[in-house]
Structure 1
Amino acid sequence: MAAALIRLATAGDAAAIAEIYAPYVRATRITFEEIAPGTAEMRARMGSPHHPWLIAEESGAALGYACATPYHLRSAYRWTCEVGIYLAAAAQGRGLGTELLGTLLELLRLQGYSAAIGTIALPNPSSIRLHEKLGFRPAGHYRAIGFKQGEWVDVGRWQCDLGERAEAPAEIRPFAELG
């Protein structure tokens, strides 16, 4: 089997990304979305020049994706982003999550982000292990904050510091300018 290729996702990957994400929406409490977004919605989410989306593929088939999104909309939060990672069922347990999320974190460092936040619906020991393996540390626990599939669900926040906190930080560089 060929090694997985990790690359920047493009608008042309939106359908594959939506297909990977849909089972998480429909069958789990990992995401609090209750209606799976379609291709057009995924394409719109991928549009930020400051928040990269990566896709892993093997022999042309999408295996998973990792993405950065704004942590909060208020401007003083712009040096912090939230990250997410989703793998197709057949791609789990191969170490691809570590490679994919690790690549995203390195890109975020190069862009000038100071922190990445991972939000994890609990319990989810495999996601906690993945995040902590890559340097995330517990930053908060919200009890019974979401209701999905007939149950109240806790949420944990994990924080990964991506670099030194500058006294006057430079603006985040668009990922397309990194070369």
Structure 2
Amino acid sequence: MILRPAREADAEAIAAIWNPLIEGTAVTFTTAPKTPEGLRADIAARGAAFQVAEEGGALLGFATYFQFRGGPGYARTMEHSVQLAPEARGRGIGRALMAALEAEARAQGVHSMFAGVSGENPAGRAFHAALGYREVARLPEVGHKFGRWMDLLLMQKILGMSH
């Protein structure tokens, strides 16, 4: 398996991993499918803050981060997303992607990383807890999908950068 920064040519494969999760699960509250055009723009803008795992020429998953909230006061606080293809789950690929992403974040001076985890995603909560993220907030009924309200768990990890 190879971990590397995403390339614009990966956009279709990333959409193929992400869109079934958007359309069929509650792991994300969004209902709008990702487009290759939008993903190419994200990849171009984020550089090494958008990592992918590749094996035998096939994309197995991705992890990316972006500023948690707008404005200069939040410049060192990021939120991330990590998603895997079904065949990649349970193989340590998510952990490897997160290690690469966190190393890149530290290199960029990021102090704090958040995960926004659906209250209906206990596997996501356990995954992040195993990586040292701790639940710092539960926002009741802030997500709406599939005709129901869902809680959002905010999980945080201090990466240790102080400058």
TM range (shorter): over 0.9
Tell which structure's C-alpha radius of gyration is larger: 1
Q: Which residue of 2 aligns with 1:27?
A: 24
Q: List gaps (5 residues or longer) in structure 1.
A: 170-179
Give the whole-Å Cα distance in 2 for the aligned partners of 1:47 and 1:80: 20
Inter-CA distance 23–49: structure 2 relative to 1 (3 Å threshold): closer
Measured against aligned partners, the alpha-carbon deviations of 1:132-156 in whole angstroms (never above 9, x if no partner) come to 1211111110001111011111000
Query: If each structure's helix is expressed as a fraction of its own residues, which one has the higher value?
Result: 2
Q: Which runs of 4+ in 1 moved over 4 A?
A: none
Residue of structure 2 aligned with 1:128, choices 125, 131, 134: 125
Q: Which residue of 2 aligns with 1:77?
A: 74
Inter-CA distance 126–143: structure 2 relative to 1 (3 Å threshold): same
1:47, CA displacement in angstroms? 2.7
Q: List gaps (5 residues or longer) in structure 2.
A: none
Asked if 1:53 is matched to 2:50, the reply is yes
% identical equivalent positions:
31
Residue of structure 1 aligned with 2:61, choices 64, 69, 72: 64
Give the conservation status (yes or no) of the 8 Å contact 1:143–1:154: yes
1:106, CA displacement in angstroms? 1.4
TM-score normalized by the length of structure 2: 0.95
TM-score normalized by the length of structure 1: 0.86
Q: Which moved more, 1:138-147 or 1:42-51?
A: 42-51
